[in-house]
Amino acid sequence: MDKFIVKGGRRLTGEVTISGAKNAAVAILPAVILSDEPCVIENVPSISDVTISLRILSEMGAEVTNIGKDAYRIDPTGIDKCCVPYETARKMRASYYFLGALLGKFNQARVSMPGGCPLGDRPIDQHLKAFSALGAEYNLSQGMIDLSADKLTGNQIFFDVVTVGATMNAMLAAVKAEGLTVIENAAKEPHIVDLANFLNSMGANIMGAGTDVIKIRGVERLHGTNYAVIPDQIEAGTFMIAAAATKGDVLIKNVIPKHLESITKKLEKIGVNIEQYDDSIRVWCDGPLVKANVKTTPHPGFPTDMQPQIATLLTLAEGTSIVTEGVWEQRFRYVDELRRMGANITVNGKVALVEGTGRLMGAPVKACDLRAGAALIIAGLAAQGVTEIEDIFHIERGYDCMEGKLRALNAEIEKVSVPDKTSNKTDKKTAV
Protein backbone atom coordinates (compact mmCIF):
# COMPACT_ATOMS: atom_id res chain seq x y z
CA MET A 1 0.00 0.00 0.00
CA ASP A 2 1.30 3.44 -0.97
CA LYS A 3 0.70 6.64 0.92
CA PHE A 4 1.77 10.27 0.84
CA ILE A 5 3.61 11.86 3.75
CA VAL A 6 3.24 15.64 3.70
CA LYS A 7 5.12 18.05 5.96
CA GLY A 8 3.18 21.28 5.98
CA GLY A 9 4.08 24.91 6.44
CA ARG A 10 6.07 25.56 3.25
CA ARG A 11 5.06 28.16 0.64
CA LEU A 12 4.64 26.81 -2.88
CA THR A 13 6.78 28.82 -5.28
CA GLY A 14 7.96 28.37 -8.86
CA GLU A 15 6.42 26.99 -12.04
CA VAL A 16 4.31 23.93 -12.79
CA THR A 17 3.16 22.53 -16.16
CA ILE A 18 -0.35 21.09 -16.33
CA SER A 19 -0.89 17.70 -18.01
CA GLY A 20 -3.60 16.71 -20.47
CA ALA A 21 -7.17 16.60 -19.25
CA LYS A 22 -8.22 13.32 -17.64
CA ASN A 23 -11.89 13.78 -18.50
CA ALA A 24 -11.07 14.38 -22.16
CA ALA A 25 -8.45 11.64 -22.52
CA VAL A 26 -10.68 8.85 -21.13
CA ALA A 27 -13.26 9.59 -23.86
CA ILE A 28 -10.84 10.33 -26.73
CA LEU A 29 -8.94 7.05 -26.30
CA PRO A 30 -12.04 4.84 -26.76
CA ALA A 31 -13.10 7.15 -29.63
CA VAL A 32 -10.07 5.95 -31.61
CA ILE A 33 -12.00 2.69 -32.15
CA LEU A 34 -14.24 4.59 -34.58
CA SER A 35 -11.31 5.32 -36.93
CA ASP A 36 -10.46 3.13 -39.89
CA GLU A 37 -6.81 4.17 -39.59
CA PRO A 38 -4.17 4.68 -36.87
CA CYS A 39 -4.32 7.83 -34.72
CA VAL A 40 -1.65 9.68 -32.75
CA ILE A 41 -2.85 11.20 -29.46
CA GLU A 42 -0.57 13.71 -27.72
CA ASN A 43 -0.62 15.42 -24.32
CA VAL A 44 -1.97 12.24 -22.74
CA PRO A 45 -1.74 12.35 -18.92
CA SER A 46 0.18 9.61 -17.15
CA ILE A 47 -2.60 8.50 -14.79
CA SER A 48 -4.06 5.13 -13.90
CA ASP A 49 -7.39 5.75 -15.72
CA VAL A 50 -5.43 6.31 -18.95
CA THR A 51 -3.30 3.21 -18.32
CA ILE A 52 -6.50 1.16 -17.93
CA SER A 53 -8.01 2.63 -21.13
CA LEU A 54 -4.88 1.80 -23.12
CA ARG A 55 -4.85 -1.72 -21.63
CA ILE A 56 -8.46 -2.24 -22.70
CA LEU A 57 -7.65 -1.14 -26.25
CA SER A 58 -4.66 -3.46 -26.36
CA GLU A 59 -6.61 -6.43 -24.95
CA MET A 60 -9.28 -5.89 -27.60
CA GLY A 61 -6.74 -6.13 -30.42
CA ALA A 62 -5.56 -2.55 -31.00
CA GLU A 63 -1.85 -1.91 -31.48
CA VAL A 64 -0.82 0.67 -28.85
CA THR A 65 2.64 2.22 -29.09
CA ASN A 66 4.15 4.79 -26.77
CA ILE A 67 5.98 7.25 -29.06
CA GLY A 68 7.00 9.85 -26.51
CA LYS A 69 6.57 11.00 -22.93
CA ASP A 70 2.89 11.78 -23.38
CA ALA A 71 2.08 10.53 -26.89
CA TYR A 72 0.63 7.27 -28.20
CA ARG A 73 0.06 5.80 -31.65
CA ILE A 74 -3.05 3.65 -31.62
CA ASP A 75 -3.97 1.40 -34.53
CA PRO A 76 -7.55 0.18 -33.98
CA THR A 77 -7.79 -1.86 -37.17
CA GLY A 78 -6.93 -5.07 -35.33
CA ILE A 79 -9.85 -4.83 -32.89
CA ASP A 80 -11.79 -8.04 -33.40
CA LYS A 81 -14.11 -8.15 -30.39
CA CYS A 82 -16.89 -6.00 -28.99
CA CYS A 83 -16.57 -7.11 -25.39
CA VAL A 84 -14.44 -5.08 -22.98
CA PRO A 85 -12.63 -7.32 -20.48
CA TYR A 86 -14.64 -7.33 -17.24
CA GLU A 87 -11.84 -7.14 -14.69
CA THR A 88 -10.20 -4.22 -16.47
CA ALA A 89 -13.33 -2.17 -17.17
CA ARG A 90 -14.74 -2.36 -13.65
CA LYS A 91 -11.75 -0.43 -12.28
CA MET A 92 -12.86 2.92 -13.67
CA ARG A 93 -16.00 4.91 -14.30
CA ALA A 94 -15.02 6.04 -17.79
CA SER A 95 -15.07 2.48 -19.16
CA TYR A 96 -18.63 3.24 -20.25
CA TYR A 97 -17.26 5.31 -23.18
CA PHE A 98 -16.36 2.02 -24.82
CA LEU A 99 -20.12 1.40 -25.10
CA GLY A 100 -20.67 4.36 -27.41
CA ALA A 101 -17.47 3.81 -29.40
CA LEU A 102 -18.06 0.08 -29.98
CA LEU A 103 -21.74 0.59 -30.78
CA GLY A 104 -20.84 3.34 -33.24
CA LYS A 105 -18.22 1.14 -34.94
CA PHE A 106 -19.71 -2.35 -34.86
CA ASN A 107 -23.40 -1.84 -33.94
CA GLN A 108 -22.83 -3.90 -30.81
CA ALA A 109 -21.03 -3.64 -27.48
CA ARG A 110 -20.62 -5.53 -24.21
CA VAL A 111 -19.10 -3.70 -21.24
CA SER A 112 -19.26 -4.22 -17.48
CA MET A 113 -21.01 -1.75 -15.23
CA PRO A 114 -18.45 0.96 -14.48
CA GLY A 115 -16.45 1.49 -11.28
CA GLY A 116 -14.61 4.67 -10.21
CA CYS A 117 -15.15 7.00 -7.29
CA PRO A 118 -18.09 6.34 -4.93
CA LEU A 119 -19.86 9.69 -5.29
CA GLY A 120 -23.41 8.45 -4.97
CA ASP A 121 -26.00 7.30 -7.44
CA ARG A 122 -24.59 7.62 -10.94
CA PRO A 123 -27.11 5.78 -13.15
CA ILE A 124 -26.56 5.12 -16.82
CA ASP A 125 -30.24 5.51 -17.72
CA GLN A 126 -29.54 8.61 -19.84
CA HIS A 127 -26.81 6.74 -21.73
CA LEU A 128 -29.25 3.93 -22.49
CA LYS A 129 -31.92 6.46 -23.48
CA ALA A 130 -29.52 7.90 -26.08
CA PHE A 131 -28.52 4.49 -27.45
CA SER A 132 -32.18 3.45 -27.69
CA ALA A 133 -33.06 6.62 -29.59
CA LEU A 134 -30.41 5.72 -32.16
CA GLY A 135 -31.94 2.25 -32.66
CA ALA A 136 -30.02 0.05 -30.22
CA GLU A 137 -31.51 -2.52 -27.88
CA TYR A 138 -29.94 -3.14 -24.49
CA ASN A 139 -29.84 -5.82 -21.84
CA LEU A 140 -28.48 -5.57 -18.31
CA SER A 141 -27.51 -8.80 -16.57
CA GLN A 142 -24.86 -10.03 -14.12
CA GLY A 143 -23.11 -6.67 -14.05
CA MET A 144 -22.79 -6.43 -17.85
CA ILE A 145 -24.36 -4.04 -20.35
CA ASP A 146 -25.14 -5.52 -23.79
CA LEU A 147 -26.00 -3.31 -26.75
CA SER A 148 -26.95 -4.33 -30.28
CA ALA A 149 -28.51 -2.71 -33.33
CA ASP A 150 -29.27 -3.73 -36.90
CA LYS A 151 -28.21 -0.21 -37.80
CA LEU A 152 -27.95 3.16 -36.09
CA THR A 153 -30.18 5.98 -37.30
CA GLY A 154 -29.99 9.62 -36.33
CA ASN A 155 -32.69 10.89 -34.00
CA GLN A 156 -33.58 13.56 -31.48
CA ILE A 157 -32.17 12.92 -27.99
CA PHE A 158 -33.34 14.99 -25.03
CA PHE A 159 -31.57 14.39 -21.73
CA ASP A 160 -33.71 14.66 -18.59
CA VAL A 161 -30.71 16.01 -16.69
CA VAL A 162 -27.45 17.59 -17.82
CA THR A 163 -24.99 14.72 -18.00
CA VAL A 164 -21.43 14.83 -19.27
CA GLY A 165 -21.01 11.07 -19.66
CA ALA A 166 -24.23 10.50 -21.59
CA THR A 167 -23.59 13.51 -23.84
CA MET A 168 -20.19 12.13 -24.81
CA ASN A 169 -21.50 8.59 -25.26
CA ALA A 170 -24.30 9.85 -27.50
CA MET A 171 -21.73 11.69 -29.62
CA LEU A 172 -19.61 8.54 -29.96
CA ALA A 173 -22.56 6.43 -31.03
CA ALA A 174 -24.05 9.03 -33.39
CA VAL A 175 -21.05 10.07 -35.50
CA LYS A 176 -21.52 7.18 -37.94
CA ALA A 177 -25.30 6.82 -37.59
CA GLU A 178 -27.37 7.38 -40.71
CA GLY A 179 -28.86 10.90 -40.89
CA LEU A 180 -29.02 13.74 -38.35
CA THR A 181 -28.82 13.41 -34.57
CA VAL A 182 -29.81 16.35 -32.37
CA ILE A 183 -28.75 16.18 -28.69
CA GLU A 184 -30.71 18.61 -26.50
CA ASN A 185 -29.94 19.64 -22.92
CA ALA A 186 -26.37 18.60 -23.68
CA ALA A 187 -23.52 19.19 -21.24
CA LYS A 188 -21.14 22.03 -22.16
CA GLU A 189 -17.87 21.13 -20.41
CA PRO A 190 -14.51 21.80 -22.13
CA HIS A 191 -13.86 18.07 -22.52
CA ILE A 192 -17.07 17.70 -24.52
CA VAL A 193 -15.77 20.31 -26.95
CA ASP A 194 -12.43 18.49 -27.01
CA LEU A 195 -14.06 15.18 -27.91
CA ALA A 196 -16.06 16.88 -30.66
CA ASN A 197 -12.92 18.52 -32.04
CA PHE A 198 -11.12 15.17 -32.02
CA LEU A 199 -13.96 13.40 -33.83
CA ASN A 200 -14.21 16.25 -36.36
CA SER A 201 -10.46 15.97 -37.01
CA MET A 202 -11.18 12.37 -38.08
CA GLY A 203 -13.91 13.50 -40.50
CA ALA A 204 -17.00 13.61 -38.27
CA ASN A 205 -19.60 16.35 -38.72
CA ILE A 206 -20.41 17.71 -35.24
CA MET A 207 -21.78 21.20 -34.66
CA GLY A 208 -22.71 23.04 -31.47
CA ALA A 209 -20.41 21.34 -28.94
CA GLY A 210 -20.09 23.67 -25.96
CA THR A 211 -23.77 24.69 -26.24
CA ASP A 212 -26.84 22.85 -24.98
CA VAL A 213 -27.75 21.67 -28.49
CA ILE A 214 -25.33 19.46 -30.43
CA LYS A 215 -26.06 18.44 -34.02
CA ILE A 216 -24.34 15.47 -35.59
CA ARG A 217 -24.59 14.53 -39.25
CA GLY A 218 -23.54 10.90 -39.59
CA VAL A 219 -20.63 9.98 -41.88
CA GLU A 220 -19.70 6.63 -43.42
CA ARG A 221 -16.09 6.49 -42.25
CA LEU A 222 -13.56 8.22 -40.04
CA HIS A 223 -9.87 8.51 -40.86
CA GLY A 224 -6.71 8.73 -38.78
CA THR A 225 -5.57 11.96 -37.16
CA ASN A 226 -2.93 13.58 -34.95
CA TYR A 227 -4.50 15.26 -31.96
CA ALA A 228 -3.40 16.85 -28.67
CA VAL A 229 -5.64 16.60 -25.59
CA ILE A 230 -6.52 19.93 -23.92
CA PRO A 231 -4.88 20.86 -20.58
CA ASP A 232 -6.61 19.62 -17.45
CA GLN A 233 -8.89 22.31 -16.02
CA ILE A 234 -9.24 20.52 -12.67
CA GLU A 235 -5.52 19.86 -12.21
CA ALA A 236 -4.88 23.56 -12.92
CA GLY A 237 -7.57 24.57 -10.42
CA THR A 238 -6.10 22.23 -7.80
CA PHE A 239 -2.67 23.84 -8.11
CA MET A 240 -4.28 27.30 -7.99
CA ILE A 241 -5.85 26.45 -4.65
CA ALA A 242 -2.69 24.78 -3.35
CA ALA A 243 -0.76 27.98 -4.09
CA ALA A 244 -3.39 30.06 -2.28
CA ALA A 245 -3.60 27.71 0.73
CA THR A 246 0.16 27.90 1.32
CA LYS A 247 0.34 31.70 0.73
CA GLY A 248 2.58 30.86 -2.21
CA ASP A 249 3.37 32.31 -5.62
CA VAL A 250 3.06 29.88 -8.54
CA LEU A 251 3.06 30.25 -12.32
CA ILE A 252 0.79 27.54 -13.75
CA LYS A 253 1.69 26.76 -17.37
CA ASN A 254 -0.10 24.95 -20.22
CA VAL A 255 -3.62 26.09 -19.30
CA ILE A 256 -6.57 27.60 -21.12
CA PRO A 257 -7.54 30.56 -18.86
CA LYS A 258 -11.06 30.64 -20.33
CA HIS A 259 -11.69 27.17 -18.88
CA LEU A 260 -10.70 28.41 -15.42
CA GLU A 261 -12.98 31.47 -15.25
CA SER A 262 -15.40 30.15 -12.63
CA ILE A 263 -12.50 29.06 -10.40
CA THR A 264 -10.60 32.31 -10.94
CA LYS A 265 -13.59 34.51 -10.06
CA LYS A 266 -14.27 32.60 -6.84
CA LEU A 267 -10.63 32.66 -5.73
CA GLU A 268 -10.44 36.41 -6.32
CA LYS A 269 -13.47 36.85 -4.04
CA ILE A 270 -11.65 34.86 -1.37
CA GLY A 271 -8.67 37.20 -1.56
CA VAL A 272 -6.31 35.41 -3.96
CA ASN A 273 -4.33 37.37 -6.57
CA ILE A 274 -4.51 36.04 -10.12
CA GLU A 275 -2.83 37.27 -13.29
CA GLN A 276 -3.73 35.66 -16.62
CA TYR A 277 -1.56 35.25 -19.71
CA ASP A 278 -2.17 33.54 -23.06
CA ASP A 279 -1.50 29.97 -21.88
CA SER A 280 -0.51 30.39 -18.24
CA ILE A 281 -1.81 31.86 -15.03
CA ARG A 282 0.00 33.27 -12.00
CA VAL A 283 -1.52 32.74 -8.56
CA TRP A 284 -0.25 34.31 -5.36
CA CYS A 285 -1.60 35.21 -1.98
CA ASP A 286 -0.15 37.97 0.21
CA GLY A 287 -3.12 38.85 2.40
CA PRO A 288 -5.89 37.28 4.48
CA LEU A 289 -8.35 34.81 2.99
CA VAL A 290 -12.00 35.76 3.44
CA LYS A 291 -15.24 33.80 3.46
CA ALA A 292 -17.22 33.04 0.32
CA ASN A 293 -20.24 31.01 -0.71
CA VAL A 294 -19.78 28.35 -3.38
CA LYS A 295 -22.38 26.34 -5.31
CA THR A 296 -21.35 23.69 -7.82
CA THR A 297 -23.28 23.51 -11.08
CA PRO A 298 -22.63 22.15 -14.57
CA HIS A 299 -20.27 24.15 -16.80
CA PRO A 300 -19.87 27.12 -17.01
CA GLY A 301 -20.65 27.11 -13.29
CA PHE A 302 -18.22 26.18 -10.53
CA PRO A 303 -17.11 22.57 -11.14
CA THR A 304 -18.09 19.84 -8.71
CA ASP A 305 -14.61 18.37 -9.15
CA MET A 306 -13.20 21.49 -7.44
CA GLN A 307 -15.58 21.50 -4.49
CA PRO A 308 -13.45 19.56 -1.95
CA GLN A 309 -10.39 21.67 -2.80
CA ILE A 310 -12.10 25.03 -2.34
CA ALA A 311 -13.86 23.87 0.83
CA THR A 312 -10.40 23.05 2.20
CA LEU A 313 -9.21 26.55 1.33
CA LEU A 314 -12.23 28.06 3.08
CA THR A 315 -11.25 26.32 6.34
CA LEU A 316 -8.25 28.67 6.29
CA ALA A 317 -10.35 31.79 5.61
CA GLU A 318 -11.86 34.30 8.01
CA GLY A 319 -15.59 33.88 8.65
CA THR A 320 -18.27 31.35 7.79
CA SER A 321 -18.68 30.04 4.25
CA ILE A 322 -21.51 28.00 2.74
CA VAL A 323 -20.65 25.30 0.19
CA THR A 324 -23.58 23.81 -1.74
CA GLU A 325 -23.11 20.69 -3.84
CA GLY A 326 -25.39 20.73 -6.87
CA VAL A 327 -24.20 17.58 -8.66
CA TRP A 328 -23.14 14.58 -6.50
CA GLU A 329 -24.94 13.80 -3.25
CA GLN A 330 -21.96 12.05 -1.65
CA ARG A 331 -19.30 14.64 -2.50
CA PHE A 332 -18.88 15.58 1.21
CA ARG A 333 -17.48 12.22 2.33
CA TYR A 334 -14.05 13.87 2.75
CA VAL A 335 -15.30 16.18 5.51
CA ASP A 336 -14.69 13.63 8.28
CA GLU A 337 -11.04 13.48 7.24
CA LEU A 338 -10.65 17.26 7.28
CA ARG A 339 -12.19 17.31 10.76
CA ARG A 340 -9.33 15.08 11.90
CA MET A 341 -7.07 17.96 10.89
CA GLY A 342 -9.01 20.53 12.90
CA ALA A 343 -11.49 21.76 10.31
CA ASN A 344 -14.85 22.99 11.59
CA ILE A 345 -17.35 21.84 8.95
CA THR A 346 -21.00 20.91 9.44
CA VAL A 347 -22.81 19.04 6.67
CA ASN A 348 -26.56 18.96 6.19
CA GLY A 349 -27.53 17.09 3.04
CA LYS A 350 -26.00 18.91 0.08
CA VAL A 351 -24.91 21.95 2.11
CA ALA A 352 -21.75 22.36 4.18
CA LEU A 353 -21.16 25.16 6.68
CA VAL A 354 -17.44 25.92 6.84
CA GLU A 355 -16.28 27.86 9.89
CA GLY A 356 -12.89 29.25 9.00
CA THR A 357 -10.43 28.46 11.78
CA GLY A 358 -7.38 29.78 9.98
CA ARG A 359 -5.30 26.72 10.78
CA LEU A 360 -5.13 22.99 10.22
CA MET A 361 -3.05 20.35 11.99
CA GLY A 362 -1.36 17.34 10.43
CA ALA A 363 -3.06 13.99 11.00
CA PRO A 364 -3.40 10.49 9.49
CA VAL A 365 -6.20 10.58 6.89
CA LYS A 366 -7.59 8.54 3.99
CA ALA A 367 -8.54 9.63 0.49
CA CYS A 368 -12.10 8.45 -0.16
CA ASP A 369 -12.16 9.54 -3.82
CA LEU A 370 -10.05 11.35 -6.41
CA ARG A 371 -10.85 14.98 -5.62
CA ALA A 372 -11.13 14.33 -1.89
CA GLY A 373 -7.55 13.04 -2.06
CA ALA A 374 -6.43 16.26 -3.77
CA ALA A 375 -8.14 18.26 -1.03
CA LEU A 376 -6.29 16.32 1.66
CA ILE A 377 -2.97 17.03 -0.04
CA ILE A 378 -3.81 20.75 -0.04
CA ALA A 379 -4.79 20.51 3.63
CA GLY A 380 -1.52 18.73 4.43
CA LEU A 381 0.53 21.38 2.62
CA ALA A 382 -1.16 24.17 4.60
CA ALA A 383 -1.24 22.36 7.96
CA GLN A 384 1.17 22.47 10.85
CA GLY A 385 2.97 19.18 11.30
CA VAL A 386 2.86 15.95 9.30
CA THR A 387 -0.08 14.52 7.38
CA GLU A 388 -0.15 10.90 6.22
CA ILE A 389 -2.60 10.21 3.39
CA GLU A 390 -3.65 6.62 2.67
CA ASP A 391 -5.54 5.14 -0.29
CA ILE A 392 -3.70 7.41 -2.71
CA PHE A 393 -4.64 5.16 -5.64
CA HIS A 394 -7.69 7.41 -5.88
CA ILE A 395 -5.43 10.44 -6.45
CA GLU A 396 -3.32 8.64 -9.05
CA ARG A 397 -6.45 7.99 -11.11
CA GLY A 398 -6.54 11.64 -12.11
CA TYR A 399 -3.30 13.49 -11.28
CA ASP A 400 -0.12 13.03 -13.26
CA CYS A 401 2.89 12.83 -10.91
CA MET A 402 1.26 14.98 -8.25
CA GLU A 403 4.00 14.56 -5.68
CA GLY A 404 6.81 15.27 -8.19
CA LYS A 405 5.18 18.49 -9.37
CA LEU A 406 4.62 19.62 -5.79
CA ARG A 407 8.20 18.88 -4.77
CA ALA A 408 9.37 21.07 -7.66
CA LEU A 409 7.31 23.86 -6.07
CA ASN A 410 9.10 23.55 -2.71
CA ALA A 411 6.60 21.20 -1.07
CA GLU A 412 7.78 18.53 1.34
CA ILE A 413 5.88 15.48 0.13
CA GLU A 414 6.96 11.92 -0.52
CA LYS A 415 5.34 8.71 -1.62
CA VAL A 416 6.15 5.70 0.54
CA SER A 417 5.18 2.05 0.41
CA VAL A 418 4.04 0.34 3.57
CA PRO A 419 3.03 -3.30 4.10
CA ASP A 420 -0.63 -3.99 3.48
CA LYS A 421 -2.19 -5.11 6.78
CA THR A 422 -4.63 -7.43 5.00
CA SER A 423 -1.81 -9.04 3.01
CA ASN A 424 0.19 -9.61 6.18
CA LYS A 425 -2.71 -11.42 7.82
CA THR A 426 -3.15 -13.59 4.76
CA ASP A 427 0.56 -14.42 4.63
CA LYS A 428 0.57 -15.46 8.30
CA LYS A 429 -2.40 -17.75 7.79
CA THR A 430 -0.77 -19.32 4.76
CA ALA A 431 2.48 -19.87 6.65
CA VAL A 432 0.63 -21.70 9.44
Kindly list the averaged pLDDT for each block of 10 residues, start to end, along the chain of length 432: 96 98 97 98 96 94 95 96 84 88 97 60 82 96 91 97 96 98 98 98 98 98 98 98 98 98 98 98 96 96 97 97 89 95 96 95 96 97 98 94 97 92 44 32
Which among 205, 228, 251 is the end of a domain? 228
Catalytic residue among 39, 82, 117, 368: 117
* Per-residue model confidence (pLDDT) at position 393: 93
In contact, 248 and 273? CB cutoff 8 Å: no
401 CB neighbour count, 10 Å cutoff = 15
Q: Are residues 173 and 296 in the same domain?
A: no
Q: Is 124 domain-assigned?
A: yes
Which residues, including other chains, have CB under 8 Å from residue 265's CB and lie 6 or more apart? none
- Quote the number of domains for the chain: 2
* Per-residue model confidence (pLDDT) at position 1: 87
* Per-residue model confidence (pLDDT) at position 384: 97
Q: Are residues 7 and 72 in the same domain?
A: no
Q: For the stretch 196-226, what's the b/e string if a residue is b when 16 or more beta carbons lie within 10 angstroms of its beta carbon? A: bbbbbebbbebebbbeeebbbebbeebebbe
Q: Is 165 domain-assigned?
A: yes
In contact, 312 and 6? CB cutoff 8 Å: no
Q: Are residues 180 and 240 in the same domain?
A: no
Q: Are residues 287 and 384 in the same domain?
A: yes
Q: Is 213 domain-assigned?
A: yes
- Residue range of the domain that includes 106: 22-228
Which among 228, 254, 284 is the end of a domain? 228
Q: Are residues 371 and 247 in the same domain?
A: yes
* Per-residue model confidence (pLDDT) at position 13: 98
Q: Is 427 domain-assigned?
A: no
Q: At what angle do helices 22-31 and 48-59 cross, to 10 degrees?
A: 10
Q: Is 368 a catalytic residue?
A: no
Q: Is 429 domain-assigned?
A: no
* Per-residue model confidence (pLDDT) at position 423: 47
Q: Is 314 domain-assigned?
A: yes
